[in-house]
Structure 1
C-alpha cells in the first residue's frame, strides 16, 4: 500500500511542477517574473499579444443554462472545452505528441526540455491549431483552464490505474496524524528555506540581470594533398549578461574569449569551410556584443546594435536548428549556418526592426555601419561602410523569404563582404583581383544582393530548405562583377534524443562568375562545392557532442586545387 501512495506522490508532483512550466508563457523565452519590472526576459515576438475578448465577460458566449447545482462542475468543464475552441488568431488548442510539432519552438529555447517532458512523459501538452506554441504570448484564463484540465485528467487517470481504495485513504489519514510532529518539523524547514531565499534575493548578483554561458572545445584537422595540416584543439567561451529594465526589453552584454582564431584559413588560404563559432584569439577577454532590444506596441520590435551587429539578429534567416547566431550549438561552418549575404557589415553598429502580422507575414528592415565610431570624412555612421536590408517572409509551415541588401565598402574595408565566407575571388579580395589585371587595385565597391530563402517542415522530424543568392557588385571606376552562392539543407530534429539533430548541407559558397573590367582578365570559374554533414547529440540539456565533416571541392573555385576535408569534433557546455 505504501508503495502505491509513494507512486501517487511521484506521479503527481513532477506533473504539477511540469504544468507550472506550461503556464509560464507571459513573455518570450523567460519565466514570468515575480516583479516584472526587475526580471530580465528574452525577446518578445511582436504581434503575439492578443487578449481573448471573451475573457472580460465569461457569460457573453458559450453554454448558459444549468439543470441543477450538482452539475456545476460538469458545466464548468463544458465551458472550458467550449472556450478552448474559440476563434483565436492561432486556431483552437490541440494536444500534441512531440514538441517538434511546433514550428516556433527550437532545441535552443530555454524551456525546450520541459515542453518535451510534458508531451512525452505526461501527454498533456497543448498547442494552437496552426502548429505553433506561442511561448512568448500571454495566456488567457480560458487557455490556462484548458491546459490545467488536460493535466489534471492525466493525474486522475494515473491515480485510478493505481486502484487506491478507501482503506488506503483512511490509513493515509492515520499516518498523517501519527507523523504530525515530523510534518510540523518539515513545515519549519520550509519556513527556514523561505527566509534563506529572501536573504539570497537581497544579496543576489543583480535583481535585473541573469547570466548565461557557453563553452566549446573543438578537436579538428584538415586533409588535402596541397599542404600539411596538423590536428588542433581549441576553445571558445562566452558569458552573456541579459538585463531587463521594464520586463519586456533586453540589454545583451557578451564577454568572449578563446583561441580558435580563423579556423584553417592561414594554412588553406581560403575562407571556405570557416567555422561558425570562431574568431576569438589569444584567450583575451573582449566585449563581443552590446545590443538593446525593445518592443513598440504588439507587432513592432526594435534592436539597437552598439557593436557586433548582424542582420541575423532581427531578420529571419529561415535556417532553423543550423542558425545559432555564431554560437557553438548550430552548424559547424559559417556557410551552413545561414545565407552569406546576411553577413554584410558583420560586426557593425546600427538598427534593425521586425514587424509581424499574424503568424504568416513578417517584414524586416535594418541598417549596419562598420565605421560608425570613426568621426572622419568618408566614415562615421552614415558616410562609411554600410549595408541596408529589406526582407519579407511569408508562410508558417512552409516559409519563403525574399531578401534585398544594398551595401558599400570603401578602400578601408577588408573586402570580406560575406563575413569571411567564400572564395578569395568571391569576396573580391584585392590580393586575388590584383594579379588578374594591373587596373584591379583596391577600390570602393557598391553592391546589390538578391536572395530567395525557403524552409519547409515536412514532418516534425524532417525540415528541408535552402537559398539562392546573387550579388551584383560595381568596382567604382573600374567595372562590374557577379557573385553567386546557393545551398540545399536537410535537418532531422530530435534524432536519437530530444534536442539532438542531424543535418546535410550541399551548396556553393560565394564565388565570382563574371568580371567586366578593362582588359577582360581570365580567371577560373569552376564551381566550389561545399558539402557538410553533422550530428549534434544532446547528451544532457546542458552538454552536446557534435561530430562533423566538411568537404570542399575546387577550393578557391579552381579544380586544379586538391579537395579539402575538414573533420571536427565539438563539445559544447551551456549554463
Structure 2
C-alpha cells in the first residue's frame, strides 16, 4: 500500500534491523489509517500475531520503545505478506519522524537504534528520495485542484438518458383507430448541484431539460420510467434542503416537485427509478410514490440502522396563493412509510398515503400510472383517496433477487353528481433480477405485473378487462459511467378491451 503523508495517516508499520535481517518477506507493512481508528499500541491487539510467533517479541519491543507500529484497521498484522522496498522505506521514514520527535523532546534513544536507523537510511536513500518527490507531486496536484475546483461546498452531478424507441400494435388504446406512432429519439438531461454547509446537511438543486412524449398509443402504460418533457427548455425541477435534528432524525424542506420516493426508499434496488432501472413507467416503483408532487415537508427518523419511519406532506400547488390552492387548501398528499432494510438489496416497507385532488379533466390520482378510469374514476369530480402498499426486495443469492409490491386504493368522489361514489383500484408487480448476468455490473430483469385498474366503481363505468404488463431488459455496463439497455415491454388491455401494445427501446445512460 503506498505511503501517504496526509493528515489521515497517523502511523505506519516499520520493522527495524532485527526483523529486516531475518527475513524481508515477513516484514509488517505500511498501512493507511483514518482519524477515526486509533493506532494499535499493544501487540496483543494484532489478532493474527500470537505470543508463539517469532515476531511477537520484536514487535512488542518496537511498540514499547517508539510507538511507531500500527496494524491494519481490522486489527491484523499480515506478516505473511512480502514487503516492497518502497513500503519498507515508507515505514522507515515514519519511524525516522517518530525518532526526531523523541529527540526534540529529549527522550532517551539507544545508540544501537540510532546506528541501525543510520545504516537503513543510507541503504534506502533512493527510495526515500523518491517518496519525497511523490509527495511533492501530490501536493502540487492538490493545490491545482483546490485552485480550479468548481466549488468548496458544491458537487456537480450529471445524468443523460437517450432513447431510440418504437410503439407497435394494431390500434390506438384511447380511440380504437389504427395505431400511428413513429419511431423517435428522445432525451432527458439532469444536472444536480449538491451542497453541504456542515458535512451533515445537503442542499439539492436540479436543472432538467427533456423532450419525451406522454401517452403514446393512447395510454399511460407506454410511458417510460424516465419520461419528462420540458420542450427542450432548462427548468428547475428540484430545490430541497435536508438537515439533521439530533443523530437519528432528518428534516427535508422542498420548494418544488417533491415526490415521496425522494424521501422514502421505494425498496426497488434493481427496477427502481434510476438511469439503469426499469424502462417502463409502471415497472419501476409502486404508484403510491408517484401521486405526490409540489412543495412540502418530510421527516425521517431512524430507530436503528435498519428500521426507519418517514412522515411526508406535499401540496401540488403550494406556490399558488389563490383560493382552492396553496399549501393547505388544494391538492395534497400526506404519507407515512415504515421500513425494515437490513441490507442494501433486501428489505420490506409498509406505505400509506391520503390524497386529495380538486376537480378537473387532468386528475391523476395514481400519478399517470394507471388506466384513464383508474386515474380519474369520477369524471372530473374532486377526488380523495386512501392508498396502502406493501413493497419489498429480497436478494436471494449473489446472482438472483426478487422485488415488487401489492397496492390497494379506495377512491371517493368529493363534488358534483359523483359526490359519495367510490372506486376500488388494485395493482401489483413482481420483478426477477439477475445481477452480474454474463458480466460483472450488468443486469438482467424480467417484470410481470398488473397496472392500476378500477375493479369496481359506484355510480359509473368500471374497467372490465384486467391489464397485464410484461417487461424484459438487459443492462450492459460499458464502464462506470455509461450503460446501454435494450428492452421491450408489452401491455395487454391497455384501455379496457383494446389490443396489446408493444414498446421496443434502446436506452443509453451517461452518469458524470
- Is the 8 Å Cα contact of residues 471 and 484 (structure 1) preserved in structure 2? yes
Residue of structure 2 in register with 1:102 after alignment: none
| Residue 145, structure 1, aligned to residue 145, structure 2 | no
> Structure 2 vs 1, CA of residues 384 and 552 (structure 1 numbering), >3 Å: closer, same or farther?
same
| Residue 337, structure 1, aligned to residue 313, structure 2 | no
SS of the aligned residue for 1:197 comes to helix
> Structure 2 vs 1, CA of residues 409 and 358 (structure 1 numbering), >3 Å: closer, same or farther?
same
SS of the aligned residue for 1:336 comes to coil
> Structure 2 vs 1, CA of residues 174 and 218 (structure 1 numbering), >3 Å: closer, same or farther?
farther
- Is the 8 Å Cα contact of residues 300 and 310 (structure 2) preserved in structure 1? yes
SS of the aligned residue for 1:425 comes to helix
- Is the 8 Å Cα contact of residues 456 and 462 (structure 2) preserved in structure 1? no
| Residue 427, structure 1, aligned to residue 375, structure 2 | yes
Provide the TM-score with structure 2 as the length reference.
0.74
Distance between the aligned counterparts of 2:333 and 2:361, measured in 1? 13
Residue of structure 2 in register with 1:111 after alignment: none
> Structure 2 vs 1, CA of residues 538 and 69 (structure 1 numbering), >3 Å: closer, same or farther?
closer
Q: Give CA-to-partner distance per residue, 1:43-77, whole Å, 9 cap, x none.
A: xxxxxxxx99x9999999999x979996257779x
> Structure 2 vs 1, CA of residues 221 and 199 (structure 1 numbering), >3 Å: closer, same or farther?
same
> Structure 2 vs 1, CA of residues 537 and 70 (structure 1 numbering), >3 Å: closer, same or farther?
closer
Residue of structure 1 in register with 2:232 after alignment: 283
| Residue 529, structure 1, aligned to residue 438, structure 2 | no
* 1:234 Cα deviation after fit: 1.2
Q: Give CA-to-partner distance per residue, 1:279-332, whole Å, 9 cap, x none.
A: 1332111111111112222221222211121101111212112223xx422211
Of 255, 258, 279, the match for 1:309 = 258
| Residue 464, structure 1, aligned to residue 402, structure 2 | yes
Alignment of 1:113-128 (within 5 A): none
Distance between the aligned counterparts of 2:243 and 2:81, measured in 1? 40
Number of aligned residues: 428
* 1:158 Cα deviation after fit: 10
Distance between the aligned counterparts of 2:56 and 2:40, measured in 1? 24
Residue of structure 1 in register with 2:338 after alignment: 392
Provide the TM-score with structure 1 as the length reference.
0.67
> Structure 2 vs 1, CA of residues 194 and 448 (structure 1 numbering), >3 Å: closer, same or farther?
same
- Is the 8 Å Cα contact of residues 162 and 188 (structure 2) preserved in structure 1? yes
Residue of structure 2 in register with 1:538 after alignment: 477
SS of the aligned residue for 2:327 comes to helix
Please say which of residues 190-199 and 241-250 is displaced more in the overlay.
190-199
Q: Which has the higher contact order (CA 8 A, sep 6+)?
A: 1
Alpha carbon RMSD of aligned pairs, Å?
Answer: 3.8
More helix by share: 1
Distance between the aligned counterparts of 2:507 and 2:40, measured in 1? 52
Alignment of 1:11-410 (within 5 A): 71=56, 145-147=72-74, 149=76, 155-156=81-82, 191=136, 194-195=139-140, 197-226=142-171, 227-262=179-214, 265=215, 267-324=216-273, 327-346=274-293, 348-394=294-340, 396=342, 399-410=347-358
Q: Give CA-to-partner distance per residue, 1:366-419, whole Å, 9 cap, x none.
A: 111111111112211111110111121235265332111100001258212222
Distance between the aligned counterparts of 2:309 and 2:39, measured in 1? 30
- Is the 8 Å Cα contact of residues 373 and 463 (structure 2) preserved in structure 1? no
Distance between the aligned counterparts of 1:205 and 1:362, measured in 2? 35
SS of the aligned residue for 2:328 comes to helix
> Structure 2 vs 1, CA of residues 497 and 303 (structure 1 numbering), >3 Å: closer, same or farther?
farther
Distance between the aligned counterparts of 2:74 and 2:79, measured in 1? 10
> Structure 2 vs 1, CA of residues 197 and 453 (structure 1 numbering), >3 Å: closer, same or farther?
closer
* 1:247 Cα deviation after fit: 0.8
Residue of structure 2 in register with 1:414 after alignment: 362
* 1:194 Cα deviation after fit: 2.5
Residue of structure 1 in register with 2:110 after alignment: none
- Larger CA Rg, structure 1 vs 2: 2
- Is the 8 Å Cα contact of residues 389 and 403 (structure 1) preserved in structure 2? yes
Distance between the aligned counterparts of 2:45 and 2:79, measured in 1? 25
